[in-house]
Amino acid sequence: MTASQPAPGIVGPFAGMDVPWLLRMRAETRRDHPFLIWAPFEAPARRWSYGEFHDRVGALAAGLVKRGVAPGEYVLIHLDNCVEAMLAWFACVELGAIAVTTNTRSAPAEMEYFASHCGAVAAITQPAYAEMISAHCRGLHWLAVISHDAGAAPANVAPRGERFEALFADSADRPRRATDPLAPCSVQYTSGTTSRPKAVLWTHANALWGAKINAAHQDLHEGDVHQTYLPLFHTNALAYSMLAALWVGASCVIQPRFSASRFWPVALEHNCTWTSTIPFCMKALLEHEIPKHHKFRLWGTAVNDPPAFAVFGIKIIGWWGMTETITHGIIGEVDQPNTPMSIGRAAAEYSIRITDDVGRPTEVGDTGNLLIKGIPGLSLFSEYLHNEKATRESFDEHGFFITGDRITLLDNGFLKFGDRAKDMLKVGGENVAASEIEQVIALVPGVREAAVVAKKHPMLDEVPVVFIIPQAGIEGAPKDLHDTVMAACRKSLADFKVPREIRFVDEMPRSTLEKVAKAELRKMLG
C-alpha cells in the first residue's frame, strides 16, 4: 500500500504544488505578516515574517547544497522547539532532501538506530545533544550545532560539530527542482507493536494535506494566532499547528516546551486564539489563575468538552489521529454541540470502520477495532521506510489501515476512545511499545521473563510498570537486580519509556501456556 504514480489523466488536489511552493506563495501574499513568533523563556520574543522566514530558508537550503546534501538524502533534525528546527525542516524539503525529525528524549541507542536505519548523511542539533549525536551516529558526513538549547545558554560552550549559522549561503542560490507532490518529504519515527520504532514517510502531498485539512478541521483563518508548545518533532505540533497556520497565512507562536507559569503570559502578549493541547497541560493550568480577557476561541485535545476543564470557558474539540494519518481521522465539530468526552465523528476526508475481531460491524454502545481508509501518499502516509513487510501488513484485505486502537460507537455517529492495542502505552503524549521495553530488560542477566503494562497516572495518563520473573526465582534473585534493570533501561530507552515500577514475581498469569495475560497484570496494579 505504498504511494504510486497516479493513473493517466488523474489530477490530484496538490498537482503542481509542494511544500516550497506553499511557503513561497505565503511569502508573496503575506510577506510582512508574522509567521513564526519565537517565545523563549530567557529572552524577548522574536518575530519572523513570512518574507523573512522564506528568505532564510532559501539561504539555508543553498548552504546545505554547498555542504554536499543532495536530493533524496536524509538529514537528522534533533532539536527541541526553536525556529532553527523549522528553518532546517523547510530547507531540507526545499532542496529535495528528507527531513528526519527525532525525539530529543531518545536514548543514545535509539539515535544510533535512527541514523543508521534511514542512512542519514548529516545532522543538525543543539549543544545539549551534540556529544551524544557525534558519538552514536557514526555514519554522518557532518554535524551542525545551533547556538542555544531551546533558548537557554548552553552548558557546553565548545560542543562537537560546526556552527549551524555557518551553513547559510546566499538565498539567491536557493535550489530549484521539478515540483513533485509525491516526492518524499519527511520522516518521523513512531513506536509500533514491534520492538523497533517504524519510520513513517510523508510525501510533499502528505504535508500539504496536513496543512489544508488541519486548518479546515480547526476552522483556522489568517487572523488566528496558534500557541505551540508541544514538540515540533511530532505530527501534532508540526502539522496540526505549524503547517495549518502556514496554509491559511496565520501566525504560530513557538515556545520551547509547555510551561504552566508561562502559558497565560505568552497567550496574552501575542493575543493567541488557538492551541493544541493534551490533558497533562490542562491539568497543570487548573492550578493557575485564568485571565478574563484572553483571546482563545478554540482548543483541540483528546476529547470534546471534558467537564473538568469547563472552567476555562473555551470550546474544546476532541480529535483522533496518528502520524500515519497526518491529520485527524476523527474530529469534533467546531460549530455544533459535541457529545462531551467523545472524540468526535468520522472525518469527511476518510472512511472509518469499527468492527469486532472477525470483521462484523460494531453496534451502538459496543467497542471495536478502529480501521481507517485513505490514499497512501496523500491522506495516509506513503510507507514505512525500508520496511515493505510492515507497510503491507498494516493494511487489511479491504485496504483499510489497521490502527491498533479500539473505539466505542455512541449515538448520532459520535465516537469515544476505548483503549489502545494492548501492548501500547500513552505516556504524557508519547506512544510507547511495551515490547521495546521488554526486549531491553530480557537481555539483563538474571531476568527470565519480563512483561510491561500500563499503570494509570494522574498527570501522564499512563506510565510503564514491569513484572519480572527472576532467573532463579524471587528468593535467588541478585540483590542488585532492580538497579541493574533500571540502569539498562536508562541506557537504552528514552526517559519516558523507563519503567516507573518493577515488580518481581515467581510466575505470570497466562491466557495460554505461553502467553502472558496482561489484563490480569493490570488488575494486579489496582
Confidence band, pLDDT 50/70/90 cuts, at residue 8: confident
Whether the Cβ atoms of residue 288 and residue 266 lie closer than 8 Å to each other: no
pLDDT tens digits along 203-255: 999 999 999 999 999 999 999 999 999 999 999 999 999 999 999 999 999 99
Pairwise pLDDT comparison (13 vs 512), residue with the higher score = 13
Distance CA 499, CA 444 (A): 14
Q: Where are the alpha helices (DSSP H) in 218-343?
A: 235, 244-248, 260-269, 279-285
Mean pLDDT computed over 47-65:
98
Confidence band, pLDDT 50/70/90 cuts, at residue 130: very high
Neighbours of 460 (CB within 10 A): 20
Mean pLDDT computed over 461-487:
94
Whether the Cβ atoms of residue 184 and residue 203 lie closer than 8 Å to each other: yes
pLDDT attached to residue 511: 65
Distance CA 27, CA 71 (A): 23
Considering the segment(s) 203-421 as one domain, its CATH architecture is: 3-Layer(aba) Sandwich (3.40)
Q: What is the pTM of this model?
A: 0.88
Which of these ranges, 45-49, 216-220, 271-275, 454-458, has the smallest mean pLDDT? 454-458
> Which residue do the cell numbers 476523527 mark?
330
Mean pLDDT computed over 12-27:
97
Q: Which three cell numbers stand for residue 260?
A: 504552566
* Contacts for 375 with CB less than 8 Å, ≥ 6 apart: none
Which of these ranges, 6-20, 84-98, 203-217, 421-435, has the smallest mean pLDDT? 421-435
Domain parsing of the chain, residue ranges = 47-177, 203-421, 424-524
State which H helix or E strand residue 384 sits in.
strand 383-384
For the CA atoms of the chain, what is the radius of gyration? Answer: 23
Considering the segment(s) 47-177 as one domain, its CATH architecture is: 3-Layer(aba) Sandwich (3.40)
Which DSSP string do the residues of 443-468 spell out, in sequence order?
A: TSTTEEEEEEEEEEETTTEEEEEEEE
Beta-bridge partners for 427: 430, 461
Distance CA 268, CA 45 (A): 13
Length of the chain: 526
The domain defined by 424-524 folds into GMP Synthetase; Chain A, domain 3 (3.30.300)
* Contacts for 421 with CB less than 8 Å, ≥ 6 apart: 193, 404, 405, 406
Domains 47-177 and 203-421 share a fold: yes
Straight-line distance from the first to the last Cα atom of the chain, in angstroms, rounded to the nearest whole number: 41
* Contacts for 9 with CB less than 8 Å, ≥ 6 apart: none
Whether the Cβ atoms of residue 99 and residue 78 lie closer than 8 Å to each other: no
Whether the Cβ atoms of residue 352 and residue 346 lie closer than 8 Å to each other: yes
* Residue 6: pLDDT over 90: no
Whether the Cβ atoms of residue 503 and residue 521 lie closer than 8 Å to each other: no
Confidence band, pLDDT 50/70/90 cuts, at residue 283: confident
Mean pLDDT of the chain: 93
Confidence band, pLDDT 50/70/90 cuts, at residue 192: low
Handedness of CA 262, 265, 269, 274 (dihedral sign): positive
Question: Which whole-number Å values give the CA distances from 217 to 207, 208, 330, 503, in the listed order?
Answer: 15, 14, 10, 44
